[in-house]
Amino acid sequence: ENKMTEPQNLNPAKRYRRQDWPGELYENGSFYFAKRHLIEKGYLQGGKMAYYEMRAEHSVDIDIDIDWPIAEQRVLSFGYFGKEPLKEVKLLVCSIDGCLTNGRIYVTEDHKEMVSYDYRDIVGIDLLKKRGIQVRLMSDRDCSKTLSAMQLGCVTKVNVTNKLQVLKDWQEDMGLSWKEVAYLGNEESDVECLKQAGMSGVPADACAAAQKAAGYICKSRGGCGAVREFAEHIFLLLEKVNSARKQ
């Protein structure tokens, strides 16, 4: 009919900047509660209505194939905590080589070993301790001298041949459920620990088997901030736990 489109809630001459736009909500269809007479008429909504606003990480529609990687990235960013009630993490166990360090070992002419680490990871460990979370370390090899030089003040176990057994011993000694245990690993020797822990993570450069077993894949590589990043992921869980308690 040669009519022009007229905006209903926007003045094109006085548009918001994108950063200042208050945001929009859309219906995701996750759930509906309606009285029987409405449903019998074929309606899902009607009469007096109220809406529940879901967090972005909890609301992903998978309708076509390109929606899948979006959902996957949401899980990797925010984690999947399962259907069981959330519990506060009280212990983080971290594999040393490839997680706290980048896995490289430098050998001097007098046969002394040197490793590098990221100070951000040390800060992450300190932040975890301040939140009342114990941090314990383990390694397949004897790196006790290196750990002593780093002065982390964490319980450590070196020359470990069975990481899962050490993890179980620590969990039982502390009287924790598996939901209260977090694990950060990067090698095939960490796979069973990653599967058992309530929260599991790996650095970005972890082996394929470890990545497959983990619930969270860091954007940071081992020895380059992965421990700090995983600590932030744990803090996100604590926020969820505190929020659930308040509700």
d(CA 184, CA 2): 63
Give the H/E segment covering residue 76: helix 67-78
Q: What is the pLDDT, as a whole number, of residue 166?
A: 94
Which has more pLDDT, 158 or 78? 158
More confident residue, 48 or 246: 48
Please give the model's pTM, rounded to 2 decimal places: 0.66
Task: State residue 201's pLDDT score.
Answer: 93
pLDDT digits (tens, 9 = 90+) for 30-75: 888 989 998 999 888 888 888 888 877 778 888 899 888 888 777 7
Across residues 154-179, what is the average pLDDT?
92
Tokens representing 62 are 């998978």
Position 102 in a domain: yes
Number of neighbouring beta carbons within 10 Å of residue 43:
13
Residue 125's domain is classified under what CATH number?
3.40.50.1000
Summarize pLDDT for 87-97 with one digit per residue, the tens.
789 999 999 88
132: region left, alpha or beta (phi > 0 left; psi from -120 to 50 alpha): left
Is the confidence at residue 81, as pLDDT, over 60? no
More confident position, 131 or 243:
131
User: In this structure, are strands 113-114 and 155-157 parallel, antiparallel, or unpaired?
Assistant: unpaired
d(Cα 90, Cα 243) in Å, to the nearest integer?
18
Give yes or no for residue 196 having a pLDDT over 70.
yes
Q: Does 115 fall in a domain?
A: yes
Report residue 138 CA to chain centroid gap. 21
- Asked if the model's pLDDT at residue 135 lies above 90, the reply is yes
Per-residue 3-state assignment (H helix, E strand, C coil) for 76-137: HHHCCCCCCCCCCCCEEEEEHHHHHECCCCEECCCCCEECCECHHHHHHHHHHHHCCCEEEE
State the DSSP string of 3-62. Answer: PPP--SS--GGGPPPGGG---------S-----HHHHHTT-SS-SS----PPPGGG----
Place of tokens 């969820």: 240
Tokens (6 digits) for 165: 């057994």
pLDDT above 70 as % of the chain: 90
- The answer to the question of residue 86 being in a domain is no
Residue 151 lies in a domain: yes
Whose tokens are 């970005």? That residue is: 204
Q: Give the integer Cα–Cα distance in Å for 34 and 47.
A: 10
* pLDDT exceeds cutoff 80 at 145: no
In a domain, 75, yes or no: no
Residue 23 inside a domain? The answer is no
Starting at the edge strand found earlier in the chain, the sheet holding 134-138 runs: 155-157, 134-138, 91-95, 181-184, 199-202, 216-217
Tell me which DSSP letter residue 176 carries.
-
pLDDT confidence of residue 238: 81
The residues carrying an active-site annotation are: 15
Tell me whether residue 72 is in a domain.
no
For residue 17, CA distances in Å to 9, 13, 14, 24, 211 come to 15, 12, 9, 14, 40
Domain that holds residue 230: 91-246
Low-confidence winner among 118-127, 138-147, 192-201 (lowest mean pLDDT):
138-147
How many domains does the structure of the chain reveal?
Answer: 1
Output the pLDDT for position 78.
65
Better-predicted residue by pLDDT, 128 or 236: 128
| DSSP class of 104 | -
In-domain check, residue 67: no
